[in-house]
């Protein structure tokens, strides 16, 4: 029996942050992780390895397009073992860093699968220990959705974890799901030489962003990829000797086609039903999410939950923020989760990022808004890096001129989204942003220009007529 003040289940960005914050605030903490490596999906088989591979893709793409600048490179020689090795080195550096930070904080790390026995005890499979706790923070995350009809036992049918392993570069790759994971992995495999087909059930790629913000990406990859089928369903999938035969139902798709590999990226499911939470009396909804209040408390007063397991969006930076709240509340602080917005980023090429309300949300809510849209073709900085397809859209309350949301598509959109996110949290209005001097020439100017388009003060373009 191990007695601990705080036990944390899961060592992803949410779990390790909660454990470290509680330890820093003086608690004696036990962190349970089923795998040997700490860091969860994000560090091991998600955000970090995918970004390492996307950087490789970016270099290949930039070299291929450099001939426009008067510089030509030979066709690159891709050594897939080294590509995989570089990715793994980055992952190992980060996960061992987390391990060292846990040790430095005297956080007791236990390897094994945690399940509740009661509202103050946890059993750990793979270890004989029973953990008795005063407080618990559940950060057990989510897993990929696997349609039972798809032959996942065939290694040619991959989920995101398999795709990140980069066993080989298939000649023809089908990506099922035009969400963030599907399109990021398509970016990687396209750059490494696969012929890509994307099939998406809805009428838009990255459906939670506004269509006009996704359009520059759509236009670019429509030219690069073999096919993008929207409004299309995969009706069957059969493993054959010559490949995976896939049946489609959709207006523009063929009835059948055969691919060397298939990546299924159709969302993630929370792990709420896999930890025997009912033995502790924890409420878990039909989807497997655990409802929590603003202090990240479940219905059981000494048990908290954070990250993917408590709801959408399933993003590491949301989990980290929630983790600090839970740890601080346990330590007697008056913390609460009251962020006005959680930014989203798709690290595609070009990147897509959005924060606050989207235009479609504002329309659905009936909010009286106005917008400024700045095409990056009028940005000197954008033109000088040879990528002018971007667009920035700023959304404002029509009466108060307060910023409500922002969407950006273009190089480094994921970095640029920090400014409008801060602006939303600070309650900025148009003039706060437009009168902030942005360095010239930078891509960050495009944010100010989008605001000036709404204000009618733009000089780098003709101001749009006031509606």
- Residues with a catalytic annotation lie at 440
Q: How far is the CB of 6 from ligand NAD (least distance, A)?
A: 27
Cβ-based nearer residue to ligand NAD, 188 or 314: 314
Q: How far is the CB of 370 from ligand NAD (least distance, A)?
A: 29
321 touches ligand NAD by CB under 6 A: no
157 touches ligand NAD by CB under 6 A: no
DSSP secondary-structure letter at 417?
A: T
Produce one character per residue of 42-68: b if its CB has 16 or more CB atoms within 10 Å, e if not. Answer: bbbbbbbbbebbbebbbebebbeeeee
207 touches ligand NAD by CB under 6 A: yes
Residue nearest to ligand NAD (CB): 179
Residue ranges in 327-356 that form contacts with ligand NAD under rule CB under 6 A: 345-347
180 touches ligand NAD by CB under 6 A: yes
Contact assessment for residue 264 and residue 157, using Cβ atoms and an 8 Å cutoff: yes
Q: How far is the CB of 243 from ligand NAD (least distance, A)?
A: 19
Q: Which residues contact 199 (CB under 8 A, 6 or more apart)?
A: 174, 175, 176, 177, 178, 229, 232, 233, 234, 248, 250, 253
Q: Is 145 helix (H, G, I), strand (E, B) or coil?
A: coil
From 3-11, 59-67, 173-181, 214-222, give the range in contact with ligand NAD by CB under 6 A. 173-181
From 121-129, 161-169, 311-319, 453-461, give the range in contact with ligand NAD by CB under 6 A. 311-319
Q: Structure tokens of 458? A: 């733009």
110 touches ligand NAD by CB under 6 A: no
CA angle 258, 260, 266 (to 5 degrees): 85
Residue with tokens 């073709």: 377
202 touches ligand NAD by CB under 6 A: yes
Q: How far is the CB of 269 from ligand NAD (least distance, A)?
A: 10
| Phi and psi angles of residue 373, each rounded to the nearest 5 degrees, phi first | -120, 125
Residue ranges in 230-259 that form contacts with ligand NAD under rule CB under 6 A: 233-234
Cβ-based nearer residue to ligand NAD, 290 or 314: 314
267 touches ligand NAD by CB under 6 A: yes
Output the CA torsion 393→398→403→409 (10° steps). Answer: -10
200 touches ligand NAD by CB under 6 A: yes
| Interface pick for ligand NAD out of 42, 292, 314, 323 (rule CB under 6 A) | 314
DSSP for 363-376? HHHT--EEEEEEEG
322 touches ligand NAD by CB under 6 A: no
Contact assessment for residue 170 and residue 158, using Cβ atoms and an 8 Å cutoff: no
Count of helices and strands (H, E) across the chain: 14, 22
Residue 288: C-alpha distances to residues 39, 42, 106, 272, 325 (Å): 22, 20, 32, 4, 22
Cβ-based nearer residue to ligand NAD, 50 or 335: 50
Q: How far is the CB of 205 from ligand NAD (least distance, A)?
A: 7
Residue 144: C-alpha distances to residues 10, 178, 242, 465 (Å): 16, 15, 27, 47
201 touches ligand NAD by CB under 6 A: yes
Cβ-based nearer residue to ligand NAD, 199 or 406: 199
| Interface pick for ligand NAD out of 37, 48, 124, 176 (rule CB under 6 A) | 176
| Interface pick for ligand NAD out of 268, 324, 387, 393 (rule CB under 6 A) | 268
| Interface pick for ligand NAD out of 7, 199, 262, 413 (rule CB under 6 A) | 199
Task: State yes or no: cis peptide before 441, omega within 30 of 0.
Answer: yes
For ligand NAD, the binding residues (CB under 6 A) are 176-182, 184, 199-202, 207, 233-234, 265-268, 313-315, 345-347
């Amino acid at each position: 029996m191990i007695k601990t003040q705080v036990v944390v289940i899961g060592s992803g960005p949410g779990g390790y942050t909660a454990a470290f914050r509680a330890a820093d605030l003086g608690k004696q903490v036990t962190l349970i992780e089923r795998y040997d490596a700490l860091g969860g999906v994000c560090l091991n088989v998600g955000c970090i390895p995918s970004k390492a591979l996307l950087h490789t893709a970016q270099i290949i793409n930039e070299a291929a397009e450099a001939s426009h600048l008067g510089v030509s490179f030979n066709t690159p020689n891709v050594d897939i073992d080294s590509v995989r090795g570089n990715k793994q080195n980055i992952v190992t550096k980060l996960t061992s860093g987390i391990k060292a930070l846990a040790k430095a904080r005297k956080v007791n790390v236990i390897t094994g699968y945690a399940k509740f026995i009661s509202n103050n005890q946890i059993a750990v499979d793979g270890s004989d220990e029973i953990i008795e706790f005063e407080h618990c923070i559940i950060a057990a995350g989510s897993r990929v959705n696997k349609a039972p009809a798809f032959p996942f036992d065939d290694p040619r049918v991959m989920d995101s974890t398999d795709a990140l392993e980069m066993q080989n570069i298939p000649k023809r790759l089908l990506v099922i799901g035009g969400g963030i994971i599907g399109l990021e992995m398509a970016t990687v495999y396209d750059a490494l030489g696969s012929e890509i087909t994307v099939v998406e059930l809805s009428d838009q790629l990255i459906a939670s962003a506004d269509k006009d913000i996704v359009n520059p990406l759509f236009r670019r990859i429509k030219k690069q990829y073999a096919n993008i089928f929207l409004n299309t369903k995969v009706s069957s999938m059969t493993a054959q000797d010559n490949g995976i035969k896939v049946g489609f139902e959709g207006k523009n798709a063929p009835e059948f086609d055969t691919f060397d590999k298939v990546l299924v990226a159709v969302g993630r499911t929370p792990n709420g039903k896999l930890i025997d939470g009912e033995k502790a009396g924890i409420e878990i909804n039909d989807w497997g999410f655990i409802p929590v209040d603003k202090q990240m408390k479940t219905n059981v007063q000494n048990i908290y939950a954070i990250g993917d397991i408590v709801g959408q969006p399933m993003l590491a930076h949301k989990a980290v923020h929630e983790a600090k709240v839970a740890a601080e509340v346990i330590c007697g602080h008056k913390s609460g989760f009251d962020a006005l917005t959680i930014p989203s980023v798709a690290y595609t090429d070009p990147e897509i990022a959005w924060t606050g309300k989207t235009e479609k949300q504002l329309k659905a809510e009936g909010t009286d808004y106005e917008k400024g849209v700045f095409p990056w073709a009028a940005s000197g900085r954008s033109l000088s890096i040879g990528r002018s397809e971007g667009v920035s859209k700023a959304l404002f309350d029509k009466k108060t001129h307060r910023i409500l949301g922002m969407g950006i598509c273009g190089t480094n959109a994921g970095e640029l989204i920090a400014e409008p996110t801060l602006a939303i949290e600070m309650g900025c209005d148009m003039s706060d942003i437009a009168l902030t001097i942005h360095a010239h020439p930078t891509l960050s100017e495009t944010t100010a220009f989008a605001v000036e388009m709404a204000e009618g003060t733009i000089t780098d373009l003709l101001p749009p007529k006031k509606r």
